[in-house]
Amino acid sequence: MEIFQENVNGVEIFNVKGSLDSNTSPEFETRIYTALGNGRKKIIFNLENLDYISSAGIRVMLKTTKDLKRQNGNIVLCSLQDYVREVFDISGFDGYLPIEKNLDEAMLKI
């Protein structure tokens, strides 16, 4: 997994590439919580290059969402490939996590 992180107008964008699973989710979580610790309250997960996500990866996203809501923050996922989107649809988390078609739409919703 590779994470390309950038801040655009106060929005922390995590561009995730590869697989997000039990081996890689701790690094992902560390990067997210470093951003939160630095006061970031608006986060976008751009998943256009995410090839695979396991329950461990979803858990990190759900935990982040819960923590951000407590801080009056916001999170949006975008650009999910069909098979990654299917994981969210089947698990029912698509109703809990805001998902947009692309980064531009995510920036408008954040």
40-56 per-position pLDDT tens digit:
999 999 999 999 999 99
Cα(54)–Cα(52) distance, rounded to whole angstroms?
A: 7
Going from the C-alpha of 86 to that of each of 5, 45, 68, 79, 94, the distances in angstroms are: 25, 16, 24, 13, 9
Do the bridges between strand 11-20 and strand 2-8 make them parallel or antiparallel, or are there none, so unpaired? antiparallel
The pLDDT value given to residue 107: 97
Residues of the chain with pLDDT under 70: none
The pLDDT value given to residue 30: 97
The pLDDT value given to residue 96: 84
The pLDDT value given to residue 93: 86
The pLDDT value given to residue 72: 94
Rounded to 10°, the helix 55-70/82-91 angle is 70
The pLDDT value given to residue 95: 83
Domain 2-104, CATH: 3.30.750.24
The pLDDT value given to residue 106: 98
pTM: 0.94
